Amino acid sequence: MSEVRVRFAPSPTGYLHVGGARTALFNWLYARRHRGKFILRIEDTDKARSTPELTNMILDSLRWLGLDWDEGPEAGGEYGPYFQSERGELYRQALAKLQAEGKVYPCFCSAGELEERRAEQMKAGKPPRYDRRCRHLAKEEAERLINAGKACAWRLAMPTEGETVFDDLVRGKLTFANQELDDFIVARSDGSPTYNFVVVVDDINMRITQVIRGEDHISNTPKQIQVYHALGAPLPAFGHLPLVLGKDKSRLSKRHGATSTDVYQAEGYLPETMFNFLALLGWSSGTDRELFSKQKLVELFDISGVGKAGSVFDMDKLTWMNGYYIRQMNEERFLELTGERLVQAGVERSVVESEWGRRVARIEKEKMKLIGDVVPLTRFFFSDELEYEDKALKQLKEGMESLKQVKEGLIKLDKFDAQALEKLIRGLAEERGESAGKLIHPLRAALSGLSSGPGLFEMMELLGKERCIKRIEAAIERFGG
């Protein structure tokens, strides 16, 4: 087997969609599994919509996800340039070869004429496609029109009989009747080449051995195969990945929520979470496991494990998985990421980076599902202006008498640490003949405004004796009447 060379070729006309990220990841896993090369190519021929800023955002998103490329922008390589906008001469040479060999022909039909014929075909219940009338022009007549300055596009002379067949790496044998295929345009009248032409020229030139992409490209594949044949180049293997779907089983789009990787990064999802999650969108390891390291996925990835059915982007599963990876994170990285969120929320950096601030972040780690959760979960530590949840407010009002007794006990307490606090609260509960929860719930509500949170006694130790007493007094004064 020759060296595996796969590619991911995004267009910088928008952010990196999670479907594109999944395609990039599967290609990367395939390359790493087979000790091959992963090539990044930027398809930036849409001059009106492609921008350097969007290109950089795509590169940053790929890096954040943990994907590196062996050839491409910034990495270089012997088959560059890796921007389609810089590869025009290669396309001109390929077109000239097809023209010289008579495998393409000039089409002089105007856009208006083509539209009129399409409308007639549809009215007659026929599939709309080019009627090949310019294909039958005499060579001399075509040359005369070209020499006279008549604008023309160039169409590939597709076979009109037989079938185009290929064995899809995911879907098995796929067959297309050639008579149903259009003589598609490979170069427009202004000289600009079209997608189905340039992508083949690029893949041939870059020695791509497997083309792994979304199933929305299946209809392009028979056209591209004929370009390979026309250029006399060997075919790569093709594999078409199932679509990423929303919960309603339609293709994932903005109406389902965030679709770009940068949004998930901003919301506090971790790259290792997204890597693991996307790897399982349409691929199965053959086990019930759902949590994998990057290296384990490289070891296990086999394209035969990719299914044909679309895969639902399950936000609940993604968020659950993110909570798991947060809990597994080493302390230094956890404190760095949460610290930046707290600073962005207005907490002084010196406070965040103090030992007290670090203890505050650590105490909430088990409850966090997103890195950004550190802000609402710890807000009550950094501000005495509490917002009371409805459930907490109810618990507070029901436990007002016990709060007064707790306050008196705290005033008399000499050692204010978690162990001493627990002994005090449980002792008071025993004196009152109540369960400890009857004191713990209203006390937590008075101190944090929340009905749940970290361990109460450790939380109280971090808040300190003075703040705890002041907050209880404020709650009694506000709600005790």
pLDDT number for residue 481: 60
In a domain, residue 324? The reply is no
How far is Cα 277 from Cα 292, in angstroms, rounded to an integer?
A: 9
Domain CATH number, residue 414: 1.10.10.350
pLDDT number for residue 256: 74
Domain CATH number, residue 158: 3.40.50.620
In a domain, residue 164? The reply is yes
In a domain, residue 64? The reply is no
**Residue that is last in its domain, among 181, 209, 241:** 241
Residue type, 385: E
In a domain, residue 215? The reply is yes
Q: Is 254 assigned a catalytic role?
A: yes
In a domain, residue 368? The reply is no
Rounded to two decimals, what is the model's pTM? 0.92
Over residues 173-188, the pLDDT tens digits come to 999 999 999 999 999 9
In a domain, residue 363? The reply is no
In a domain, residue 76? The reply is no
Decide if 187 contacts 95 (C-beta within 8 A).
yes
Catalytic annotation, pick one of 123, 173, 254, 412? 254
Decide if 301 contacts 280 (C-beta within 8 A).
no
> What is the span of the domain harbouring residue 468?
384-481
How far is Cα 56 from Cα 47, in angstroms, rounded to an integer?
A: 16
pLDDT number for residue 127: 87
pLDDT number for residue 255: 76
**Residue that is last in its domain, among 173, 207, 241:** 241
Comparing CA positions, the residue from 290, 308, 311 lying closest to residue 246 is 311
Dig out the tokens for 426 from the structure: 């449980």
In a domain, residue 319? The reply is no
Decide if 260 contacts 267 (C-beta within 8 A).
no
Q: How many structural domains does the chain have?
A: 2
pLDDT number for residue 1: 52
How far is Cα 199 from Cα 55, in angstroms, rounded to an integer?
A: 18
CA 440 to chain centre: 42
48: buried, middle or exposed (CB in 10 Å: 19+, 13-18, 0-12)?
exposed
Mean pLDDT, contiguous 10-residue spans, the chain (481 residues): 91 94 98 98 89 95 98 97 97 98 97 93 90 94 95 97 97 96 96 96 98 97 98 98 91 80 95 98 94 97 96 95 97 97 97 97 96 96 94 94 95 96 96 94 96 95 97 93 60
**Residue that is last in its domain, among 241, 274, 296:** 241
Phi, psi angle pair for 89, to nearest 5°: -65, -35
